[in-house]
């Protein structure tokens, strides 16, 4: 089984390997399943012996046990320093964080990714990924910048807290990001139109 170039070092051999790999999957699922069995049932790689398996188990037990102790200490600190009436608030925030991420943010990200890929089905995969990256980077920077706008509305304790014009800065950031994203996309698109310069696996579908 060939190994895709996970770190992006992009040497010629891995490009060729990638092509072979593409041919191997899909039409011939047997290849993948062989690999799966190979990883799952065959003797483990050199260096793993029954005794090192025991060692692994012992390390895991120590880690889990130690982790439970640390957690218990944290719970003790919590109950010792926070009034009991306030603790449900902590639990509520933790539960809300899970719901907010798993129930709202993650599905939106998923839907956005799919919509973008469908919208861009005629352009190369590289361009789609560049646009996706631009949107994600902008969203994450906005995630830490937008609270400054909200907090500033609550009249900060003094003028040296949140002194910048965060709205303007965020606008500038988005404009620069959009320009860079468009520039890179055009570059990737033009490169994609000249097959001689294209990576075999960059063409998308």
Pick between residue 194 and residue 205 the one whose CB is nearest to other proteins.
205
Apex 37 CA angle, 47 and 48, nearest 5: 10
Q: How many residues bind other proteins (CB under 8 A)?
A: 99
Q: How far apart are the first and last CA of the chain?
A: 23
**Which position among 16, 20, 108, 114 is part of the footprint of other proteins (CB under 8 A)?**
114
Whole-angstrom Cα distance, residue 199 to residue 192?
A: 8
Task: Give yes or no for residue 182 binding other proteins (CB under 8 A).
Answer: no
Pick between residue 51 and residue 160 the one whose CB is nearest to other proteins.
160
**Which position among 16, 20, 54, 90 is part of the footprint of other proteins (CB under 8 A)?**
90
- Distance of closest approach, residue 196 Cβ to other proteins, in angstroms: 18
Using CB under 8 A as the binding rule, the residues of this chain from 115 to 134 that contact other proteins are: 117-118, 120-121, 125-126, 128-130, 132-133
**Which position among 62, 179, 182, 186 is part of the footprint of other proteins (CB under 8 A)?**
62
**Which position among 20, 49, 54, 93 is part of the footprint of other proteins (CB under 8 A)?**
93
Residues 6+ apart with CB under 8 A from 121: 205
- Distance of closest approach, residue 138 Cβ to other proteins, in angstroms: 9
- Distance of closest approach, residue 13 Cβ to other proteins, in angstroms: 13
The CA distances from residue 190 to 47, 131, 173, 199, in Å, are: 48, 15, 26, 13
Using CB under 8 A as the binding rule, the residues of this chain from 184 to 203 that contact other proteins are: 201-202
Whole-angstrom Cα distance, residue 179 to residue 70?
A: 47
Task: Give yes or no for residue 150 binding other proteins (CB under 8 A).
Answer: yes
Quote the crossing angle between the two packed helices 125-153 and 166-193, to the nearest 10°: 180
Helix (H) and strand (E) counts for the chain?
7, 0
- Rg (alpha carbons) of the chain, rounded to whole number: 25
Q: DSSP class of residue 42?
A: S
Using CB under 8 A as the binding rule, the residues of this chain from 31 to 60 that contact other proteins are: 32, 35-36, 39-40, 45, 56, 59-60
């Amino acid at each position: 089984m060939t190994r895709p170039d996970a770190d992006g070092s992009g040497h010629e051999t891995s490009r060729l390997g990638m092509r072979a790999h593409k041919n191997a999957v899909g039409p011939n699922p047997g290849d993948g399943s062989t690999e799966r069995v190979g990883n799952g049932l065959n003797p483990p790689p050199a260096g793993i012996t029954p005794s090192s398996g025991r060692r692994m188990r012992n390390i895991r037990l120590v880690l889990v046990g130690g982790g439970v102790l640390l957690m218990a200490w944290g719970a003790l600190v919590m109950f010792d320093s926070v009034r009991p009436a306030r603790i449900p608030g902590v639990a509520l925030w933790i539960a809300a964080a899970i719901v907010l991420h798993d129930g709202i943010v993650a599905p939106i990200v998923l839907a956005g990714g799919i919509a973008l890929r469908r919208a861009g089905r005629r352009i190369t995969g590289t361009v789609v990924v560049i646009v996706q990256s631009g949107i994600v980077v902008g969203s994450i920077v906005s995630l830490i910048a937008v609270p400054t706008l909200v907090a500033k509305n609550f009249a900060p304790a003094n003028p040296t807290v949140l002194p910048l014009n965060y709205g303007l800065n965020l606008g500038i950031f988005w404009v620069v990001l959009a320009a860079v994203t468009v520039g890179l996309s055009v570059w990737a698109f033009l490169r994609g139109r000249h097959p001689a310069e294209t990576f075999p696996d960059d063409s998308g579908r």
